[in-house]
Structure 1
């Protein structure tokens, strides 16, 4: 979006960073071939494959391993065949680090700021109403109304979404006319950290967040049972400016940097403020639509910064 705050804004973002799904068919074939088999009786099955992962404390060294014989998700098991099966459920996956006095903020103030940052991530990415396309009123209420242009730009993004002003850059929203979530669980993995702002950001405390959210969805049509997943990774840096030096609202969050990457979202469609996942039943889609030009990206790979990923409209290696 076209927002600025103390001269810091969206870095390396363009609508092309939305990634469409391109490997669903391959996964379907493998899943169907093994649908009648019991993994727990196979010699390569490791019972540890279903144990919850420990919380992420640093950047992983690589992407999660692919299943040798991936299973298709179902209405009863929407995360089957996904690395997210072992991830935390919802808000339990957003764990603030231990607080300590940082910059102008005391330990107690940092504790409160971390809790507010978590509240924003929950309200913008996990609120069932927001996921179903509602305006994220609670999340918007946590942002500093005195940050220049932030609220006005967001209001414009919701009213008239464009490549430059797209609410999905901060909020996870699906069109209720097209799809609905499967169950109530969104899988989450990531981490956050706190640091004292330096250089141009002197006088601020920065909370850096990096989280991936996995949404299982089906078509909105009654009786639909083909489950697909959309994977959203967000990096957001919140700014807490010293009220003795800046005109800010205490207790509210500033946003200085943001970026996102999405697996299984049709990036060839015009921006309308919603994600548009692909389904196998859709086949090849609109033959007149432009083909994604970028390379395939693994949306579960958290080992690279988002700025290192291709910015073109590309394909997702798995969902």
Structure 2
């Protein structure tokens, strides 16, 4: 088990770790609308962080299907930059995951907000840690673990307040850190094991603390 001995050893595997909160009416959104919005966020996360075909593919198309038509150009611009790694996992061509399903743990919060132009928004914040097992010939064990922690603010405008092209998911704000990742690859929007570890030599950080979804998302040392 590639995760044995790590804090993620007993975490849920894959999609089982992404559990939605109860949907309640809020700020002009019905319970059904909140439920649908939460489900859309979860579906986008499943593609962005857990879909192996997407993670190893060369196209943003599977992820674009989850966001509003008017928001898709921003995702395309992020595709080959370090920004994409903030909210999606693109594996470097030479990176190979182990057969183990990634482990994940985190939580959602949501609220209704109103923009200055009067548009009502359902704002969903996801705060999750993703732990991947990689084949790693440079490691004595033959494998290694990469930890990604992201906090993403998603927004869904009320369908009655916007044009059709603006309906759907928008990435409003995102931030993240990684542990055990190759920083040169991250600059290209790619993930592979190795390189800088924010809890490495000379850092007071406990490596296991980086697995905690409540850990501050800003690190003094990062890619």
- Scaled to the shorter chain, the TM-score interval is 0.7 to 0.9
| TM, length-normalised to structure 2 | 0.83
Identify the match of residue 180 of structure 1 among 96, 99, 119.
96
Whole-angstrom CA distance in 2 between matches of 1:87 and 1:251: 34
Identify the match of residue 264 of structure 1 among 180, 188, 193.
180
Task: Report the Cα offset of residue 250 of structure 1.
Answer: 7.4
| TM, length-normalised to structure 1 | 0.60
Identify the match of residue 153 of structure 1 among 52, 55, 74.
74
* Contact in 1 for aligned 2:12/2:104 (Cα 8 Å): yes
Partner-residue secondary structure (3-state), 2:23: coil
Residues 217 and 269 of structure 1, relative CA distance in 2, 3 Å threshold? closer
Identify the match of residue 304 of structure 1 among 186, 207, 215.
215
Task: Report the Cα offset of residue 248 of structure 1.
Answer: 4.9
Pair 1:245 & 2:161 matched: yes
Instruction: Please name the residue that 2:84 is paired with.
Output: 167
* Contact in 2 for aligned 1:136/1:171 (Cα 8 Å): no
Is the radius of gyration larger for structure 1 or structure 2? 1
Instruction: Please list the CA deviations of residues 157-199 of structure 1 after superposition, one character each: whole Å capped at 9, or x if unmatched.
Output: 33xx345xx32122112113x2211114110100112211156
Task: Report the Cα offset of residue 130 of structure 1.
Answer: 2.5
Residues 180 and 299 of structure 1, relative CA distance in 2, 3 Å threshold? same
Q: What is the RMSD computed on CA atoms of the aligned residues? A: 3.0
Task: Report the Cα offset of residue 311 of structure 1.
Answer: 4.9
After TM superposition, which residue ranges in structure 1, 4 or more long, deviate above 6 angstroms?
Answer: 292-295
In structure 2, runs of 5+ residues without a counterpart are none
Task: Report the Cα offset of residue 310 of structure 1.
Answer: 2.3
Whole-angstrom CA distance in 1 between matches of 2:176 and 2:211: 13
Instruction: Please name the residue that 2:127 is paired with.
Output: 210
Pair 1:125 & 2:49 matched: yes
* Contact in 1 for aligned 2:105/2:213 (Cα 8 Å): no
Instruction: Please name the residue that 1:233 is paired with.
Output: 149
Residues 239 and 97 of structure 1, relative CA distance in 2, 3 Å threshold? same
Count of paired positions: 216
In structure 1, runs of 5+ residues without a counterpart are 1-76, 285-291, 315-319
Which structure carries more relative contact order (alpha carbon 8 Å, separation 6+)?
Answer: 1
Partner-residue secondary structure (3-state), 1:236: strand
Instruction: Indicate the larger mover: 262-271 or 184-193.
Output: 262-271
